[in-house]
Amino acid sequence: MKIAVASDDGVTISAHFGRTRGFVIAEIEGDKIVNKEYRENTFTGHARGLNVTGHDFNDRHGPILEALKDCKVVISHGMGRRIYEDLRAAGISAFIVQETDVDQALNLYLQNSLVDRPDKGCDH
């Protein structure tokens, strides 16, 4: 199983999912991380320069859903409600977390202790 964590530097969790520079992709087997890679963000609407107010444009989340379709979980420090719901509809568990450290969030997830805070998402 793979987990994507939004991160600008591979160490800290990004404050905003759509504006992140990339994603730490952690491959999990059992309760252990067996591999980590960094996937540069070239696919969110913000990364593609689609800064339309209110996100009123077609196929706004298709590219990100396609780019992360091999992941079962996505973790970010903040994300819009629409992408949160779109990830879940695509069968990807979305977590908005208070943690800011990538490794800490991954370890909490593996311990079944990661707390999802959808109320901390942004409305835009």
d(CA 120, CA 29): 30
The tens digit of pLDDT for each residue in 77-111 reads 999 888 899 999 999 999 999 999 999 999 999 99
Q: What is the pLDDT of residue 115?
A: 95
pLDDT band at 26 (very low <50, low <70, confident <90, very high): very high
Residue 99: count of CB within 10 angstroms of its CB: 21
Query: Which domains, from first to last, does the chain contain?
Result: 2-59+66-79+105-118 (3.30.420)
pTM of the model: 0.86
Spatial contact of 38 and 26, defined as CB atoms under 8 Å apart: no
d(CA 3, CA 58): 27
Q: Inform me whether the pLDDT recorded for 50 exceeds 60.
A: no
Q: What is the pLDDT of residue 57?
A: 42
* 3-state SS, residue 96: strand
